[in-house]
Structure 1
Amino acid sequence: MHALTKQLTDYMLEKYHLTDYVLYESSYTQNKMNDQTGYSFETFWIPRGTSVIEEEDGTMLPEGTVQIAINPVTKRTTTLSLHGQILVHSVPNDLRDISTRIAWLESETSMIHGTHFILEKDDETFFSYVSCYDGVRLSPGCFIHLTLTENGQLDELFIYGPHPLDHRVESKSFTLTLEEIESLTKQQIKWFSYPKTGNQYAHTVAEAFVTQEASILVPSKLDFTSSIEVNDVLSWTGLSSKTHERYPFQSGETVTANDVITQTEHPDFRPIPQETADACRAVIKDIIQNEYSADSGQWMLRHIYRQDPYLAVTLSHAHPTSYVDQHRRITILLDAKTLHWIDLVDNQELQTVFASVTAPELEDHQQDIIFNALHPYLSLTPRYVFDASKGHYVLCGLLNSNHVFLPATNKVILLRDL
């Protein structure tokens, strides 16, 4: 057993008093939290004197198994799952009382309720919390899901996402108003069709994060990855002289204790060399040329991005002529090392669903009518959003509406009532 693994398992033994358990399985995993690489040490503990049952469709763990995952650097618990009606040291026997529940969560997460996390959903036996900074929610942020049994005992604690104490936040006062962003709000008026006789349309203001300088900020995803924007139209004559067979899916490299010690960067963060992008383009052109031989000049290679252990390539119509064409996508997976063809996904089936959909054209006065109708139902709430270009969270306003305008009746209703 590696020294780090021994240290972490001893820590779990001491914290949760697992003296009546034996370690059945442990492993390290690697994840992406905004622009940082994170690690997790995951374990399964089974009661002494029990054994697992190997079946054709998987392994059945015995009653009383305890699943624990921690951050190997900070030692914060990220998963605590109890398989059965069992009690674990340091976990209250009944978590239905709000004071008991909050105090325990604060001790487990190193966060303070109201300052670092707030309640999002309360469903008697299920509680969902989201991370915040001085009460203002973070996007993307940390999620805390707590599930209890009917008698209030812990069933599962699951924590995922960037810990608010591990990322820098640019603290500011929120001063943005709806009046300041009227022009931008009108640009966010979007339409969609809904299943009613006669091909009905509805309009709403699409959710957006607006900086205090009145510009839209697209938040970084939790799965931030290296990518290259290509925007290259693929043209050819005839079939390609090269054919590519599909290879089976494969898993990424095993994460080790040494990776944790050296803080090895996640593979998805590695830049894509230009020579790799060029070679990737050549393979993609061969595949498209053979699979869509009659479509020369109709497909544009948009992006190449990492999706360990693959390179993912997205293509769309080079010259869309309809609403459906605008949303047509092809995604191709290649092995990141060999560029072997792994998979191809085409969303062409959406064309059947939206074949009769045409985008309504709005005159300026119609847009004003929709904006004025929806304006009373707009909200602008403060939200800290991670800005990858700056490497920290900045204060924005979340522009949102849960209402829609129906041009057929000139009425505004709740989105959920459609």
Structure 2
Amino acid sequence: MSEELQNVFDTVQEKLGLTNHKLERHHFFREKNHFNETIYLVSMEWFSDDSEEAENGYNPAGTAVVDINFHTSAIRRIVFVNGANSADHTLYPNAATKEDVIDWIEDITGLTFGRQFLIAEEQDYKMAFRAAVDNIPVSPSGFINVEFNDDGVLTLFSIDGEFPNEAQIEWEPFALTPDKYEPVAKKQCHLLTFPDQEAKKWKPIYGMEEVFLTNDAARTIPMTLGDGRSSFIARDKVLAWEAPLEGRFEQKEIDFSPEVTFETVRANQPHPDTLSLTEDEVTASEDEVLRFMRLVYPNENGKRRLTGLYLKDGYIAAEIKPAQDEWKNALDIKIKLLIERDTLTAVNYFDQDRLFEAFSHFGEAEEAVVAHEDAFNKLLGYLKVEPVYVYDSKRGKYIMCGKLDCDYGVNAVTGEVVKLNEMF
């Protein structure tokens, strides 16, 4: 074992009070954060000296599973198996004293409570925190979770996501007023179809699509959530052809494993998804999507459209949705096609149309009677516009925005206002 790696293990053992433990095994992982930076993690499994032999390959009770950022030593996760903290308890907070928990989190993360994170939820023996800037949420956000056993001893700590510092914030007061955000909200009001489980039919519902609106109301920032979405390149290309293709699509096994070797970690090689798609790759991917559709969906000529491309663990992912958007479906069903980046050849796909099988016996939605204008006016009273600092990749800063959101919709046949989360 290299001296560099041994120093990492020794530091973790001392810092977390694992002196009565031995390192059983370790692994290295690579990920990309929202700022397009490569993060290398080392995951360690520390067995306590008095632990019993594990069965079926499981870690025995009291094992400490620890993940840290290899290059910064920042702790990402501590889990004590079966809720048995076998480390030096004096180095950990007790659930009985909230202030001690917060102080310990500040010490282990370097974050400041009240300026970078706030309490989001409190339960018996559990606390959750979220990233914030002076009580204002941020997006993408960060989350901290801690859990304790019945004796009040910490058994889990995890920190995920982003916690911006002051240098990453463009400070300004929230300035969005109704005359600025209502015209945008009106454009975000769409006619959707929801599955009504009770009536066994589709229902046409007007609903608001969430979006961030910049503080000057000059532009919107979509809420593109999920890994890989920071590399998303929007497209709106109907997939049509003169003739289908004959042949068979060869699916390959997909390797999404983030595990890497120590040599890769030491070299600090960039994550493949940090290398932006080139114009040539985008063009070639569009051609490959069309080839795939002609081969696998020959009867879907003109019925689908390519809506975007993004990077996913070394692959290029293409989103394919129905071309007809007069009736947007609330389930957002799509085909995800994976393209090898080095060969620019499609290798696998996931068709979410299978999710529709559960609704195949549902009756079609009735024709909308309520006008868009009337529906929007009904929803205005339920519209929520909240300040959020949103990361703007164009500026490389978090900027003040308003989050436009609405928990309610309007039945397009009856005009009734309904709560959307009760539709499923």
Q: Normalising by structure 2, what TM-score?
A: 0.84
The secondary structure found in structure 1 opposite 2:168 is coil
Among candidates 231, 234, 243, match of residue 237 of structure 1? 243
Alignment partner, residue 160 of structure 2? 160
How far the C-alpha of 1:161 sits from its partner, in A, is 0.7
One-letter code of the match for 1:212?
N
The question of 1:79 aligning with 2:80 is answered no
Among candidates 366, 391, 401, match of residue 374 of structure 2? 366
Range that drifts further, 66-75 or 405-414: 405-414
Unaligned runs of 5+ in 1: none
Among candidates 252, 260, 273, match of residue 255 of structure 1? 260
The secondary structure found in structure 2 opposite 1:397 is strand
How far the C-alpha of 1:79 sits from its partner, in A, is 0.3
Alignment partner, residue 88 of structure 1? 87
How far the C-alpha of 1:253 sits from its partner, in A, is 7.0
Distance (whole Å) between structure 2 residues aligned to residue 185 and residue 159 of structure 1: 34
Distance (whole Å) between structure 1 residues aligned to residue 169 and residue 231 of structure 2: 23
The secondary structure found in structure 2 opposite 1:17 is coil
The secondary structure found in structure 1 opposite 2:111 is coil
Alignment partner, residue 221 of structure 2? 217
Alignment partner, residue 66 of structure 2? 68
The question of 1:401 aligning with 2:372 is answered no
Distance (whole Å) between structure 2 residues aligned to residue 386 and residue 2 of structure 1: 39
How far the C-alpha of 1:43 sits from its partner, in A, is 1.0
How far the C-alpha of 1:111 sits from its partner, in A, is 1.3
Aligned 1:226-305 pairs, distance under 5 A: 226-229=231-234, 231=237, 233-240=239-246, 243-252=248-257, 254-257=259-262, 259-260=264-265, 262-305=267-310
The secondary structure found in structure 1 opposite 2:402 is strand
The secondary structure found in structure 1 opposite 2:221 is coil
Distance (whole Å) between structure 2 residues aligned to residue 319 and residue 412 of structure 1: 26
Alignment partner, residue 114 of structure 2? 114
Instruction: Name the CA shift for 1:409/1:109 in 2 (closer, same or farther; >3 Å).
Output: same
One-letter code of the match for 1:394?
I
How far the C-alpha of 1:116 sits from its partner, in A, is 0.8
Distance (whole Å) between structure 2 residues aligned to residue 149 and residue 228 of structure 1: 45
One-letter code of the match for 1:68?
V
Distance (whole Å) between structure 2 residues aligned to residue 244 and residue 290 of structure 1: 7
The secondary structure found in structure 1 opposite 2:165 is helix
Distance (whole Å) between structure 2 residues aligned to residue 286 and residue 144 of structure 1: 45
Alignment partner, residue 40 of structure 2? 39
Residues 136-184 of structure 1: per-residue CA shift (max 9 Å, x gap)? 1111111111122233221211111123239711111122223432222
Q: Normalising by structure 1, what TM-score?
A: 0.85
The secondary structure found in structure 1 opposite 2:292 is helix
Distance (whole Å) between structure 2 residues aligned to residue 194 and residue 227 of structure 1: 29
Residues 246-283 of structure 1: per-residue CA shift (max 9 Å, x gap)? 22222457434454455432211213344444554554
How far the C-alpha of 1:109 sits from its partner, in A, is 1.6
| Contact 2:249–2:296 under 8 Å retained in 1 | no
Distance (whole Å) between structure 2 residues aligned to residue 406 and residue 49 of structure 1: 63
The secondary structure found in structure 2 opposite 1:60 is coil
Distance (whole Å) between structure 2 residues aligned to residue 275 and residue 400 of structure 1: 37
Instruction: Name the CA shift for 1:15/1:355 in 2 (closer, same or farther; >3 Å).
Output: same
Distance (whole Å) between structure 2 residues aligned to residue 338 and residue 331 of structure 1: 18
| Contact 2:227–2:312 under 8 Å retained in 1 | no
| Contact 1:227–1:272 under 8 Å retained in 2 | no
How far the C-alpha of 1:318 sits from its partner, in A, is 4.1
Instruction: Name the CA shift for 1:381/1:333 in 2 (closer, same or farther; >3 Å).
Output: same
Instruction: Name the CA shift for 1:92/1:316 in 2 (closer, same or farther; >3 Å).
Output: closer
CA RMSD of superposed structures (Å): 3.3
Distance (whole Å) between structure 1 residues aligned to residue 353 and residue 226 of structure 2: 28
How far the C-alpha of 1:51 sits from its partner, in A, is 6.8
One-letter code of the match for 2:374?
Q
Instruction: Name the CA shift for 1:245/1:54 in 2 (closer, same or farther; >3 Å).
Output: farther
| Contact 1:387–1:394 under 8 Å retained in 2 | yes
Instruction: Name the CA shift for 1:261/1:395 in 2 (closer, same or farther; >3 Å).
Output: farther
Alignment partner, residue 26 of structure 2? 26
Distance (whole Å) between structure 1 residues aligned to residue 209 and residue 128 of structure 2: 25
| Contact 1:234–1:297 under 8 Å retained in 2 | yes
Instruction: Name the CA shift for 1:359/1:305 in 2 (closer, same or farther; >3 Å).
Output: farther
Distance (whole Å) between structure 1 residues aligned to residue 302 and residue 186 of structure 2: 35
Unaligned runs of 5+ in 2: none
Instruction: Name the CA shift for 1:363/1:316 in 2 (closer, same or farther; >3 Å).
Output: same
Residues 198-253 of structure 1: per-residue CA shift (max 9 Å, x gap)? 7555444443322111132224546245455553634142533x644222222457
Range that drifts further, 44-53 or 69-78: 44-53
Instruction: Name the CA shift for 1:301/1:26 in 2 (closer, same or farther; >3 Å).
Output: same
The question of 1:332 aligning with 2:337 is answered yes
| Contact 1:324–1:357 under 8 Å retained in 2 | no
